[in-house]
Structure 1
Amino acid sequence: MSRIDELIERLCPDGVEFRELKSVAKIVGGRDYKEFGEGEIPVYGSGGIMTYVDTAAYEGPSVLLPRKGSISNIFYVDGPFWNVDTIFYTEIDESLINPRYFYHVMLNEHIEKLNTANAARPALTRKVLDAIRIPVPPMEVQEEIVRVLDSFAELEAELEARKAQYAFYRNRMLDDITADEVPLSKLAAIGTGSHDTKDAIDGAEYAFYARGTLPLRLNTYDFDETAVITAGDGAGVGKVFHYVDGKYALHQRAYRMVPNKELLDSRFFFHVLNAHFYDYIMTNCVSSSVASIRKKMLDNFPIPLPSLEEQRQIATDLDKFDALVNDITQGLPAEIEARRKQYAYYRDRLLAFKEKTA
Structure 2
Amino acid sequence: MIKSNYVEKLLKGVEVEWKTLSQGEKKVAELMRGRVMSKAYLEENAGDYPVYSSQTKKNGEIGKVNTYDFEGEFITWTTDGANAGTVFYRTGKFSITNVCGLIKINNTKELNYRYLFYWLSIEAKKHVYSGMGNPKLMSNQVAKIQIPIPPLKVQEEIVRILDAFTELTTELITELTAELVAHKKQYEYYRDKLLTFEEGEVKWRTLREVALEFGRGKSKHRPRNDSKLYGGNIPFIQTGDIRNAPHIIREFTQTYSKFGLEQSKLWTKGTLCITIAANIAETAILGFDACFPDSVIGFVANPQKTSSSYVEYLLTSYKSKLQSKSTGSAQENINLATFESLLLPFPSLAEQERIVSILDKFDALTSSITEGLLREIELRQKQYEYYRNILLSFLKEGVEE
TM-score (norm 1): 0.70
User: 1:128 pairs with 115, 123, 141, which one?
Assistant: 141
Letter in 2 for 1:178: T
Establish whether residue 4 from structure 1 lines up as the match of residue 7 from structure 2. Answer: yes
| Mapped contact 2:31–2:103 kept (Cα < 8 A) | yes
Which residue in 1 is equivalent to 2:64? 56
Match of 1:108 in 2: 122
Q: 1:53 to 1:146 in 2, by over 3 A?
A: closer
The yes-or-no answer on 1:319 pairing with 2:363 is: yes
- Measured in 2, the distance between the counterparts of 1:197 and 1:308 equals 39
- Residue of structure 2 equivalent to 1:216: 253
| Aligned counterpart for 2:221 among listed residues 175, 178, 196 | 196
Corresponding residue for residue 25 of structure 2 = none
- Map Cα deviations across residues 184-225 of structure 1 (whole Å, 9 max, x no partner): 444452422515364489997565322325631315573222
**How far apart in 1 are the matches of 2:391 and 2:61?**
38
289-298 vs 176-185, which moves further: 176-185
Percent identity reads 17
Alignment of 1:1-358 (within 5 A): 1-9=4-12, 13-15=14-16, 18=19, 20=21, 23=29, 27-29=33-35, 31-33=37-39, 36=43, 46=54, 49=57, 55-56=63-64, 65-71=77-83, 74=86, 87-88=99-100, 97=112, 104-109=118-123, 111=125, 113-117=127-131, 119-135=132-148, 138-148=155-165, 156-176=173-193, 177-179=195-197, 182-188=205-211, 189-196=214-221, 198-199=223-224, 207-212=235-240, 215-218=252-255, 222-234=266-278, 236-237=279-280, 241-278=283-320, 280-281=322-323, 283-301=324-342, 303-306=344-347, 307-327=351-371, 331-339=372-380, 341-354=382-395
Between the aligned partners of 1:218 and 1:262, the Cα distance in structure 2 is 33
SS in 1 for 2:268: strand
Which structure 2 segments of 5+ residues have no match? 23-27, 245-251
Count of aligned pairs: 344
CA contact (8 A) 2:84 2:128 kept: no
Contact kept, 8 Å, 1:72 with 1:112, in 2: the verdict is no
Letter in 2 for 1:351: L
* Paired residue secondary structure (1:194): coil
Displacement after TM superposition at 1:244 (Å): 2.8
- How far apart are the structure 1 equivalents of 2:382 and 2:362? 30
198-207 vs 186-195, which moves further: 198-207
How far is 1:83 from its partner?
7.5
Tell me how far apart the structure 1 counterparts of residues 209 and 271 of structure 2 sit (CA, whole Å): 15
Output one character per residue of 1:21-59: Cα deviation in whole Å (capped at 9) or x when no partner: 782875535533256399xx9998756559x99942689
Give the secondary-structure state (helix, strand or coil) at the position aligned to 1:323.
Answer: helix
Residue 188 of structure 2 aligns to a residue whose secondary structure is helix
Q: Secondary structure at the match of 2:216?
A: strand
CA distance in 2, matches of 1:337, 1:208: 32
Shift in alpha-carbon separation, 1:23–1:81, aligned structure 2, 3 A: closer
* AA at the equivalent of 2:183: Y
Say if 1:145 and 1:172 are closer, same or farther in 2 by CA, change over 3 A: same
